Chains A and B, each alone.
Chain A
Amino acid sequence: MTDHINTESEEIARSLQHLEGPLLPVLHSIQDRFGYIPSESVAVVAGVLNLSRAEVHGVISFYHDFRQQPCGRRVVSICRAEACQAVGGAALAEHARHSLGIDFEETSTDRSVSLRSVYCLGLCACGPALCIDDQLHGRVSCAAFDALMSE
C-alpha cells in the first residue's frame, strides 16, 4: 500500500514539477487520485519539489479542500453561506446532520458518507444549495434531501 502511494505520489509530483508554483496542482492531483493526501505523500512531494516537509504540511493544513483522512464514498457538501441561510439553509443543515447521524466535517463509521460545509456554490438565487460529489442541486428541501440520499 505504502509502496504504491510513494510511487504514484512521486510520479504525480514529477509530472507537474515543471509548473510555476507546482505545489497546489500536485496536492490536488494526489487528492484526486487517493481521495485524500496520505501522510506518506508529504515526504515524497517535499523531496521532489525541494521543499521541507513542514512547508508542504503547512500548505495542506491551510486549505479547507485538502484532507488528511480518507472521506466517505459519497461527499455531501452543504452550503452554509448567507444567501442559502436566507431560504432555510440552516434547517437543511440540521436535517442533514440528524438524518445522516454525523456532524459537519465528519465521515460515517461505515465510510458511506462524509458531510462538509461549503461557503457558497454560486447557486445563491436557487438556495438552499448542496453538492453531492460533483453534482450540484438547488432549492433542496428536507424532503428533496432525503430523496437524493436514498438514490
Chain B
Amino acid sequence: MTALPADVEMIRNGSRGLYWLEPLLEVETDSGRLGFGPVTSADVPSIFTADGFDEQHQKCVGPVDELPWLANQQRFTMARCGIIEPLSLDQYRHHGGFAGLANARSMSPRQIVDCVTDSGLRGRGGAAFPTGIKWRTVLESAGDTKYVVCNADEGDSGTFADRMLMECDPFVVIEGMLIGALAVGASRGYIYCRSEYPQAIDTLNQAIALAARAGYLQDFELEVRRAAGSYICGEETAMLESLEGNRGMVRYRPPLPAVEGLFGKPTLVNNVVSLAAVPEILAQGGASYKALGCARSRGTLTLQLAGNIRRGGLIEIPFGASLRTILTDFGGGTRSGRPIKAVQAGGPLGAYIPPEQFDTALDYEAFQAIGAMLGHGGLVVFDDTADLGQMARFAMHFCAEESCGKCTPCRIGAVRAVEVIDRIHENQDARGNRILLKDLCQTMIDGSLCALGGMAPAPVLSIMEHFPEEL
C-alpha cells in the first residue's frame, strides 16, 4: 500500500462502470470530481503533491462527469453507482434513496402497482414481461404468505449490471424489494445470488443488516441465498426449486410463479435491474420513466458492453439508440483494433448480429424482428479473428452442459447438435448435415420446456444465416 498524504480522506466507492478507465481514482474538488485512470499503485505518489494533487498528471482525465462516455448516458437506475459509498445509508438517503419507499408507504397496494404499470417497465432479466402486470397478478393471488424473490443469478456472459447494483448500490435492491412487498402483500423475500459473486453476497448481507438495524425490515424478512453454479437456475421456476432445496429442474407452467411460486405460495420474481428501477419510478412517478425510450420499450436500458471492445462497461441510456452508436461512440471499436465481425446480444442464447444489422435500434421488438434478443442487455463484441463456427458449437455445448434434463429436445437435442456441427466442420456430408442441424434446431425451438432449449438454437441459426462460410 502506498501511504497517502495525511490530510487526504480515502473513500472506497463503487464502480461507475467505466471499466476501460479503471482502476479509477477520483478527487473531490469544488468543481466536481477530477478523475485519474487507469492508475496503478505506482502512480499514486506522483498524483498527490505536497499541496494537493497534480492536475497536469498524465493519468488525469479531467472532470469525470464531463467525459463524453458518461455525459452521453442517462443514469436512472444506476445513478448512484460509483458515486456513493455502497454501505452508507446516509449517503444513500442523501442521494435520493428511500424517497420511493416513502411514497409507496402513503399509497394503496393497487396504486403502487398502477404506478409501476404506468411506467411501462418491462422485466430486465431477459423476457421483458411487463412488470406491472406481473405485480398485479401476485397482488390478486390469495395466499397467507407471499414472497418476493430477486433473481440475481446473472448467468449470461457479457452481463454485470446486477453485480454492479449489488456491489455498488445494494440498498436500491432492498428498497425495490420492499416496495414490491408492499405492493403485493409479501412478508418474506430472498435474493438468489450466483456463487460466482462472493463480493456481491457479502455486500448485500451487510446492507441487509444495516437496513434492519435502521428499522426498514420490520415487516419483511429478507435473506440472501448463495446459488451453486448452475446456469439453468436463473430460469425462474428452476430458481424456485433451488431455493426450496431441490435440483434446479424447470417446472411446467401453469401455474405461474405469481400464483403458485416458492413453496406453492404466490411469488413475485423479478430481476435485480427491474427491482432497482422501481424506487426511482415511485419517487418520480411512472410518467417520467415512460417519457424515456421508444415504441414499447420504455425507460432506460442498462447495457453492458463487453468482449473485444476498447471502452467496455456499463452504459445506461433510453431505449432507441442504434447498436452502432454504442459500438462506435461509446465502445470506440474493438480492443484489438481490428474490424468488428459480430456482436452477440442477450447472453449465450442470443443471436450473433452481423455489421449489416448494426443500425438496428436498441428496442425489444426491433431486436426480435431481426431474430435477435436484447435480453439482459449484454453485448459481446468479436473481431474478425473470431471463429464463429466454434462459437456455434460452444452454444450447443453450453446448453447440453446446463440442461436440467427435464425435456428431451433440450437434453438430447443439444448433445446431437454438437455432434452434427462437428461433422459439418469435418466436412462429412456438410450439405446434408446442415439440413439436419436446422431441423434439429427447429425441434428444440418447438419442443423445449423453457427458453434454454428453446433459444440455444438462436446463436447457431444466426451464424448459419449471416456467416455461412463458418458453419
Contacts and interface: CB of A to CB of B under 8 A. Distances in A.
Given A24-B245, A82-B348, A124 B307 contact: yes
A21 B230 contact: no
Contacts of B188: 20
Interface in A25-43: 25, 27-28
Interface centre among B198, B228, B381 (most CB of A within 10 A): B228
A58 B157 CA distance: 27
Contacts of A27: 228
Contact of A125 (B19, B154, B225, B391): B19
Q: Chain B interface: which size bin?
A: 35 or more
B398 interface: yes
A86 B386 contact: yes
Interface in A11-64: 19-25, 27-28, 49, 58-59, 62-64
B248 A87 contact: no
A11 B381 CA distance: 49
Contacts of A19: 223
Interface in A99-118: 118
B344 A125 contact: no
Contacts of A82: 157-158, 307, 344, 348, 380, 391, 394
Chain A contact residues: helix, strand, loop or mixed: loop
Given A83-B158, A85-B391, A125-B160, A59 B247 contact: yes
A125 B155 contact: no
Interface string B298-334: 0000001111110011000000000000000000000
A23 B62 CA distance: 52
A120 interface: yes
Contact of A120 (B196, B223, B383): B196
A69 to B, nearest CB: 16
B226 A28 contact: yes
B231 interface: yes
A122 B229 contact: no
Contacts of A149: none
Interface centre among B198, B247, B380 (most CB of A within 10 A): B380
Contacts, number: 126
A58 B160 CA distance: 31
A124 B308 contact: no
B245 A120 contact: no
A20 B383 CA distance: 47
A81 B20 contact: no
A24 B156 contact: no
A146 interface: no
Contacts of A131: 196
B282 interface: no
Nearest to A136: B199
Contacts of A125: 19-20, 160, 304-307, 309, 312-313
Contacts of A63: 228-230, 248
B160 A124 contact: yes
A21 B244 contact: yes
A122 B228 contact: no
Given A24-B245, A63-B228, A122-B163, A86 B382 contact: yes
B245 A86 contact: no
A128 B284 CA distance: 40
Contacts of A118: 196, 229
A124 B20 CA distance: 11
A120 B348 CA distance: 11
Given A23-B245, A120-B156, A125-B305, A65 B380 contact: no
A73 B223 CA distance: 31
Nearest to A138: B19
A43 B432 CA distance: 51
Interface in B158-178: 158-160, 163
Nearest to A80: B394
Contact of B306 (A49, A66, A124): A124
Contacts of B344: 82
Contacts of B237: none
Contacts of B308: 86-87
Nearest to B145: A20
A134 B199 CA distance: 9
Contacts of B358: none
A127 B198 CA distance: 19
B267 interface: no
A65 B160 CA distance: 20
B155 A120 contact: yes
Interface centre among A19, A24, A25, A120 (most CB of B within 10 A): A120
Interface centre among A27, A63, A87, A134 (most CB of B within 10 A): A87
B229 to A, nearest CB: 4
Interface in B167-194: 188
B304 A124 contact: yes
B263 interface: yes
Contacts of B157: 81-84, 119-120, 124
A140 to B, nearest CB: 14
A123 interface: yes
Interface in B234-251: 242-248
B35 interface: no
Contact of A123 (B160, B228, B242): B160
Given A59-B247, A124-B304, 13 more contacts: A19-B223, A21-B245, A25-B226, A28-B228, A65-B195, A81-B157, A82-B391, A118-B229, A119-B398, A120-B159, A122-B159, A122-B160, A125-B313
12 contacts: A23-B246, A24-B242, A28-B228, A64-B229, A86-B386, A122-B159, A122-B160, A122-B163, A123-B160, A124-B380, A125-B313, A126-B22
Pick the 4 closest A-B CB pairs, nearest first. Answer: A125-B312, A23-B245, A81-B157, A124-B306
